[in-house]
Amino acid sequence: MPMASSPRVGEAGRSITAPRIDVSENDNEFRITADLPGVAPADVSVTLDDDVLTIRGEKKAQREDERQNYHVIERSYGAFQRSLRLPFSAEPGKVQANFEHGVLTVSVPKSAQQQRSQRIEVRSGSTGGETAVQPGEKSAGRDRHH
């Protein structure tokens, strides 16, 4: 359910952008990393509703002097939101969010049920006489040079 990733330009200097994210997974957790440059940690919220994780926040305008005559305003500010559906329902009390140097990292631990995935050995040949072939290995019959 990702929101739009490109800015929508409205008033001068105002645009609403979905933050850019990376999603990775290992045996124990899902990890979502979002770039939120210029956003204060107090202006970010992370919610989990069943299997939907939502990152919301607001980058506030930083205008030192309203009397200045701006020629170009390209820095964006405004509210943003990004939601994504996790491949499982997570336990909200175990989700951790850390914000450091403009980068939000959300760790969603997998339960024991989700950790039960296992690589299955693929065997070659239709008879039980052939040896198992692991991914990346070649069968003895295919290695011979004639």
Domain annotation covers residue 53? yes
Domain annotation covers residue 128? no
> What's the CA gap between 50 and 84, in Å, rounded?
11
- The pLDDT assigned to 101 comes to 94
HEC-encoded secondary structure of 19-70: CCEEEEECCCEEEEEEECCCCCHHHEEEEEECCEEEEEEEECCCCCCCCCCC
Domain that residue 49 falls in: 8-112
pTM above 0.75, yes or no: no
Predicted confidence pLDDT, tens digits, the chain (146 residues): 333 333 333 444 455 578 899 999 998 999 999 999 989 999 999 999 989 999 999 988 776 666 678 788 777 788 999 999 998 888 889 999 999 999 999 999 988 666 555 667 888 886 555 555 555 555 455 444 44
Q: Which two three-digit tokens encode residue 96? A: 């951790």
- The pLDDT assigned to 88 comes to 87
Domain annotation covers residue 108? yes
Domain annotation covers residue 22? yes
Domain annotation covers residue 58? yes
Domain annotation covers residue 140? no
3-state secondary structure of 104: strand
- The pLDDT assigned to 12 comes to 45
CATH of the domain at 48: 2.60.40.790
Phi-psi region of 13 (alpha: psi -120 to 50; beta: other; left: phi over 0): left
Structural domains counted in the chain: 1
Domain annotation covers residue 131? no
Domain annotation covers residue 84? yes
